[in-house]
Structure 1
Amino acid sequence: MVKAKIKYNDDSIMKIEVSGHANAGDYGNDLVCAGITAIVSGALNGLDQMHNKDVDLNVDDNVITIIVKNDSIELQKILQFLLFQLETIEFQYQKNFKIEEVF
């Protein structure tokens, strides 16, 4: 199962960590993993281009982490958009993907 952990400070997303494997198909043919990877990779690219001084982006073996260093309304809109996309995958593939929100 893929897990996304969203940590908040008040109403602001301060950290997103995505890890695991969906096991929804054979390796290389797992559409759930492919969808999550596409969403998160696109967000990483956008954050790197638009907010590289405001976030720490870490891509390790099987773990992707986004940490907010300098919060802003624009940055929160991007992170909220990422969360909305991930929630869509979670809704459709509840056996393979889980989001945990920590306040």
Structure 2
Amino acid sequence: MIKVEVVCQKNNNISQIKVWDHAESGEYGFDLVCAGVSSIMIGALNALNELDYPFNYEISPRPLILIEWSGSDEKQEMMKIIYYQLKTIEEQYGNYIKIIEKEEFQ
């Protein structure tokens, strides 16, 4: 199962999205849930980079993709778009992806 951890600040802004593990919804190379989640995350990294948004990231073969927001509130929409895309997959394929929402304590 793919796990997604979304860390929110008290003002409901998203400070971090971390995605790891495999969906195992199909054979290797034919797992549509993994393909969808991977496309969302890699596309988001490409968009954040192209738009020159302030963010940090980590990618590892574990598999793990981590996006940390370091920008201002007015450009926060991109993190929310990523969240809503992942949430849409969870609504349809809840047996293969789980989103965990956490509140950031400061």
Q: Scaled by the length of structure 1, what TM-score is found?
A: 0.93
Asked if 1:2 corresponds to 2:10, the answer is no
Shift of 1:50: 1.4
Alignment of 1:7-86 (within 5 A): 7-10=7-10, 11-52=12-53, 54-61=54-61, 62-74=63-75, 76-86=76-86
Q: Give SS of 2:25's match.
A: coil
Q: Let me know the Cα RMSD of the aligned residues.
A: 1.0
Asked if 1:101 corresponds to 2:92, the answer is no
Check conservation: 2:13, 2:73, Cα contact below 8 A: no
Structure 1 segments of 4 or more deviating over 6 A?
Answer: none
- Contiguous gaps of at least 5 residues in structure 1: none
Shift of 1:15: 0.6
Q: Scaled by the length of structure 2, what TM-score is found?
A: 0.90
Q: Which amino acid aligns with 1:47?
A: L
Q: Which amino acid aligns with 1:77?
A: E
1-structure distance, mates of 2:72, 2:96 = 31
Q: Give SS of 2:16's match.
A: strand
2-structure distance, mates of 1:73, 1:100 = 24
